[in-house]
A and B are shown apart, each in its own frame.
Chain A
Amino acid sequence: MSRRLRLTRPSGKPERLTAAFLLGLVLFLPPLLNVASRDVLFGGIPVLVLWLFGGWLVLIVILALVVEGKPDDDARAP
Chain B
Amino acid sequence: MISGPLVVAVSIAYLLVLFAIAWIGDRRAAQGRSLIDNSTTYVLSMAVFCTSWTFYGSVGRAAQGGLAFLPIYLGPTLVVALSGVIIGKMVHIGRSHRITSIADFISARYGKSTVLGGIVTIIAVTGIMPYISLQLKAVSTTLTALLDWPNASSPIADIPILGDTVLLVALFLAAFAILFGTRHIDASEHHQGMVLAIAFESVVKLVAFLAVGGFVTYHLHDGFADIFLKAAENPDLRRLFTIQGSAYGDWVALVVLSMLAFTCLPRQFQVTVVENTDRRHVDRMVWLFPLYLLAINIFVLPVALAGRMAFGDQVSPDLYVLALPLSQGAEALALLVFLGGLSAAASMVIVETIALSTMVCNDLVMPLLLRLRWLGLAQSPDLSGLLLGIRRVTMAMVVLLGYAYVRLIGDSYALVTIGLTSFAAAAQFAPALIGGILWKGATEKGALAGLLAGFTIWLYTLLLPNFARSGWLPVEFAEQGLAGIDFLKPYALFGLSGLEPVTHSLVWSMLANLGAYVLVSLLTGHTAMERIQASLFVDALRPTGPAHGRSRFWRGTASVSELRALCVRFVGLDSADRAFTHWAARRGIDLDRLTEADSELVDMAETLLAGAIGTASARVMVASVSKGEVVGLDEVMEILDEASQVIAYSQRLEAATAELKAANERLKELDRMKDDFISTVTHELRTPLTSIRSFSEILFDNPAMDETQRQEFLAIVIKESERLTRLINQVLDMAKLESGRMTWVIAPVSPRALVEDCVAATQALFEDKNVVLETDLADLPDIATDADKVMQVVINLLSNAVKFVEADSGRVFLRLTREGDGIRLSVDDNGPGLPPQALETVFDRFLQVGDTMTNKPKGTGLGLAISKTIVEHLGGRIWAENGAQGGAVFTFTLPGQPNS
Direct interface between A and B, CB < 8 A: yes
Q: How far is the CA of A56 from the CA of B296 in the complex (A)?
A: 13
B247: nearest chain-A partner, CB-CB: A37
Interface SS of A by simple majority: helix
The reply to whether A17 and B84 contact each other, CB–CB distance below 8 Å, is yes
Contact across chains for B243 and A3 when beta carbons are under 8 A apart:
no
* Cα–Cα, bound, A28→B251 (Å): 9
- For residue B470, CB closer than 8 A to chain A, the reply is no
The answer to whether A44 and B81 have CB atoms under 8 Å apart is: no
Chain B residues within an 8 Å CB radius of A18: 81-82, 84-85
Whether A52 contacts B228 in the complex (CB less than 8 A), given A21-B82, A33-B248, comes out as no
Q: Hey, which chain A residues are within 8 Å of B286, CB to CB? A: 17, 63-64, 66-67
CB-contacts of B246-263 with A (<8 A): 248, 251-252, 255
Residues of B within 8 Å of A, CB-based: how many? 39
> For B71, B84, B229, which residue has the most chain A Cβ atoms within 10 angstroms?
B84
Could you tell me if A3 and B666 are in contact, using CB atoms closer than 8 angstroms? yes
User: Which listed residue, A20, A33, A45, touches B251 by the CB 8 Å rule?
Assistant: A33
Chain B residues whose CB sits within 8 angstroms of the CB of A44 once the complex forms:
224-226, 228-229
Contact B241 A28 (CB under 8 A): no
Report the bound CA distance from A41 to B248 in whole Å: 21
| B177 neighbours in A (Cβ, 8 Å) | none
**Contact across chains for B242 and A33 when beta carbons are under 8 A apart:** no
Contacts of B669 in A (CB 8 A): 1
> By the criterion CB–CB under 8 Å, are A28 and B84 in contact?
no
A13, A24, A29, A57: which contacts B252 (Cβ < 8 A)?
A29
Are A53 and B255 touching (Cβ within 8 A)?
Answer: no
Report B677 CB to chain A, min CB distance, Å.
12
* Those of A52-78 within 8 Å (CB) of chain B: 52-53, 56-57, 59-61, 63-64, 66-68
Cβ proximity bits B66-83 to A, threshold 8 Å, 1 near / 0 not: 010011001001101111
Neighbouring A residues of B287 by C-beta, 8 Å:
60-61, 63-64, 67-68
Asked if A67 contacts B283 (CB within 8 A), the reply is yes
Within A2-32, the residues touching B (CB, 8 Å) are 3, 13-14, 17-18, 20-21, 24-25, 28-30
Question: Contact: B242 with A38, CB < 8 Å?
Answer: yes
Residues in A whose Cβ lies below 8 Å from that of B85? 14, 18
Partner of A56, one of B229, B248, B290: B290
Alpha-carbon distance between A64 and B669 when the two chains are bound, in angstroms = 45
Q: Please name all residues of chain B whose beta carbon is closer than 8 Å to the beta carbon of A52 when the two chains form the complex.
A: 67, 70, 74
B291 within 8 A of A: yes
In the complex, chain B residues 293-324 whose Cβ is within 8 Å of any chain A Cβ: 294, 298, 301
Please give the distance in Å from A34's CB to the nearest CB on chain B.
Answer: 7
**B179 within 8 Å of A (CB atoms):** no
Whether a CB of chain A sits under 8 angstroms from the CB of B678 is: no
* Complex contacts, B248 vs chain A, CB 8 Å: 30, 33-34
Kindly identify, within residues 209 to 238 of chain B, every residue whose CB is under 8 Å from any CB belonging to chain A: 224-226, 228-229, 232, 238
Do residues A17 and B83 form an inter-chain contact, with CB atoms below 8 A?
yes
Whether B284 is near chain A, meaning CB under 8 Å from some CB there, is yes
| Interface pair A24/B84, CB less than 8 Å apart | no
B698 at the interface (CB under 8 A from A): no
Q: Report the separation of the CA atoms of residues A18 and B83 in the bound assembly, to the nearest whole angstrom.
A: 9
B408 contacts partner chain A, Cβ-Cβ < 8 Å: no
Q: Which residues of B contact A (CB under 8 A)?
A: 67, 70-71, 74, 77-78, 80-85, 224-226, 228-229, 232, 238, 241-243, 248, 251-252, 255, 283-284, 286-287, 290-291, 294, 298, 301, 662, 666, 669, 673
Q: In the complex, given contacts A24-B78, A61-B287, A66-B286, what are 5 additional A-B residue pairs having Cβ atoms less than 8 angstroms apart?
A: A1-B673, A17-B81, A34-B243, A49-B301, A52-B67
Q: Top 10 nearest A-B pairs by Cβ distance?
A: A44-B225, A14-B84, A46-B241, A21-B81, A64-B287, A63-B287, A37-B242, A37-B243, A24-B78, A67-B283
Q: Pick 13 A–B contacts, CB within 8 A, sort by A.
A: A24-B78, A28-B71, A39-B242, A41-B228, A41-B229, A41-B241, A45-B228, A48-B243, A56-B294, A60-B290, A63-B81, A64-B286, A67-B287
